[in-house]
Structure 1
Amino acid sequence: MALRAFFRWLSGQAGYRKISYTDADYFNPTANDSRIATALRQKPAPSIEQVRHVLTSIKPATDLDRRDQALIAFALLTGMRDDAIASLALRHIDIVGRTVFQDARSVRTKNRKTFTSWFFPVGDDIEVIVTDWIGFLKSEKLFGPDDPIFPATEIALDSDRRFAPMGIARAFWKNADAIRRIFRQRFEAAGLPYFNPHSIRTTLARHGADICPTQEVWAAWCANLGHESAATTFRSYATVPFHRQGEIFTALLNAQRCVPDRSSEPDPDTVRRVLEHLRKNAA
Structure 2
Amino acid sequence: MSRLNPSNERLKRDYLRYLKEAKGKSEATLDSVRKALARYEAYTGAKDFKTFRREQAVAFKVRLAETDGVRTGETLSASTQAGTLSALRDFFTWLAWQPGFKSKIHLPDIDYLSPSRKDVARAKAPKLRDFPSLEQVHAAIEAMSCETVVDRRNRALIAFTILTGIRDRAMVSLALGHIDTTRSPPVVRQDPNTVETKFAKAIITYFFPIGDDLAEIVRAWIDELRGEHLFGPADPLFPRTCVGIASDGAFAPAGIERRFWSNASPVREIFRKAFTAAGLPYFPPHSFRHTLGHLAQTTCRSPEELKAWSQNLGHENITTTLTSYGRIDPHRQGEVIGQMKTGKAVDPDMLAEIGAVIARNRGVPIG
TM-score where L is the length of structure 1: 0.86
Structure 1 residue runs of 5 or longer lacking an equivalent are: 257-283
Matched, 1:38 2:124: yes
- Find the aligned partners of 1:177 and 1:86 in 2 and give their Cα distance: 10
1:25 to 106, 111, 114: 111
Query: Is the Cα–Cα contact under 8 Å of residues 67 and 150 in structure 1 kept in the other structure?
Result: yes
3-state SS in 2 of match to 1:77: helix
Equivalent residue for 2:235?
Answer: 147
2:267 counterpart of 1:182: no
Q: Which residue of 1 aligns with 2:92?
A: 7
Among 84, 89, 98, the alignment partner of 2:175 is 89
Contact between 2:95 and 2:101, CA under 8 Å: does it hold in 1? no
Q: In structure 2, what is the equivalent of residue 63 of structure 1?
A: 149
What is the one-letter code of the residue matched to 1:8?
T
* Deviation by residue 1:219-271 (Cα, 9 ceiling, x = unmatched): 1100000000000100000111222113224445xx79xxxxxxxxxxxxxxx
What pairs with 1:94-173 in structure 2 (closer than 5 Å)? 94-97=180-183, 98-173=186-261
Q: 1:161 to 1:226 in 2, by over 3 A?
A: same
Distance in 2 (alpha carbons) for counterparts of 1:198 and 1:19: 42
Q: CA RMSD in A?
A: 1.6
One of 306, 314, 320 as aligned partner of 1:232:
320
8 Å contact 1:102–1:109 — kept in the other structure? yes
- Percent identity, please: 47
1:49 match: 135
User: CA deviation digits over 1:137-163, x for unaligned, max 9?
Assistant: 100111111110101111122223332
1:260 aligned partner: none
Displacement after TM superposition at 1:164 (Å): 1.9
Show the counterpart of 1:269.
none
CA deviation map 1:155-195 (0-9, x unaligned): 12222333222111111011111111110111011000000
Match of 1:261 in 2: none
Aligned to 1:248: 336
Larger radius of gyration: 1
**Separation in structure 2 between the aligned mates of residue 250 and residue 46 of structure 1, nearest angstrom:** 24
**Counterparts of 2:307 and 2:296, CA distance in 1:** 10
Give the structure, 1 or 2, with the largest relative contact order (CA under 8 Å, sep 6 or more).
Answer: 1
In the alignment of these two chains, the number of paired residues is 254
Give the TM-score normalised by the residue count of structure 2.
0.67
Distance 1:183 1:176 in 2: 11
Q: Does 1:80 align with 2:158?
A: no
SS in 2 for 1:61: coil
SS of equivalent residue, structure 2 residue 189: strand
Contact 1:48 1:203 in 2 (8 A): yes
Q: Structure 2: any 5+ residue segments left out of the alignment?
A: 1-85, 343-367
